[in-house]
Structure 1
Amino acid sequence: MSDEPMVPENTPKAEEPKPDPKISINKFFETELRVARILEAERVENADRLLKLQIDLGTERRQLVAGIAESYTPESLIGRSIIVVANLKPARIRGVDSDGMLLAATVDGRAVLASFDGEIPPGTQVG
């Protein structure tokens, strides 16, 4: 005999609580958001949606891959300031190294880059 109590088969199982999708302020501050300036932009070969960007983060230059090619031409991005998640682990996307992620909204299926009212120096912390 088992030590476990007998439970009728038709007894409903208790639902597991759903995780809270909200994060703490401390968790938010683990994300390093920085201003970056786009120095170069080009299409990623054999990838209709991807652009490869060279950015200035103030203290260093980095390369990002972003899925914004359907919304922006490479030429239109040169000199623009963007917000970047600077402390992501590097990833390889379609064979291209990406060291960070830019922030953009999606409006009617199109990417819209987050922007600023004035000139903000590259490397400035956002948050």
Structure 2
Amino acid sequence: MTTVSYDDFAKLDLRVAKIISTEPIEGKSRIIKGKIDLGGDDQRDVIIGGAQYFQPDEIVGKTVIVLANLEPKTMAGVESNAMLLAADVDDKPYWLTVTEDVALGSPIK
């Protein structure tokens, strides 16, 4: 296992977000386009993987944990501006979330 310093960990901007919309990406079966709300006026497009396990609208409204300061990446013509965090079991995502009502944009420390 690779270890990281606390200083490296502190660079990660992990926050609470809500998936507010999703849509299929033409010609893609494993990824979809989503929009997340990080609170305030901060809404971002993201690529969401594991789409073969759910219909796009099934995850709308889900509160998730995201890496908000990940360098943008374009896939299938969509620029993703954050990454949803998930446990990966046999390539199926299990989205990390919070168990209580937490304000969108709240930092994870």
Tell me the secondary structure at the aligned position of residue 42 of structure 1: strand
Give the aligned residue type for 2:31. L
1:90 paired to 2:61: no
Structure 1: stretches of 5+ with no match in the other structure = 1-19
2:86 counterpart letter in structure 1: A
Secondary structure class of the residue paired with 2:57: helix
TM-score by length of 2: 0.92
Report the counterpart of residue 32 of structure 2 in structure 1: 51
The answer to which structure, 1 or 2, has the higher relative contact order (CA under 8 A, 6+ apart) is 2
How far apart, CA to CA, are the structure 1 residues paired with 2:48 and 2:19?
12
TM-score normalised to structure 1 length: 0.80
Please list the CA deviations of residues 27-72 of structure 1 after superposition, one character each: whole Å capped at 9, or x if unmatched: 0010100111111011111111001111101131100002120222
CA RMSD of aligned residues (A): 1.3
Gaps of 5+ in 2: none
Flag as ranges the 4+ runs of structure 1 deviating above 2 A.
Answer: none
1:95 deviates by 1.1
Which structure's CA Rg is the greater one?
Answer: 1
State, as a whole percentage, how many aligned pairs show the same letter.
Answer: 34
Q: Quick check: 2:50–2:91 contact (8 Å CA) kept in 1?
A: no
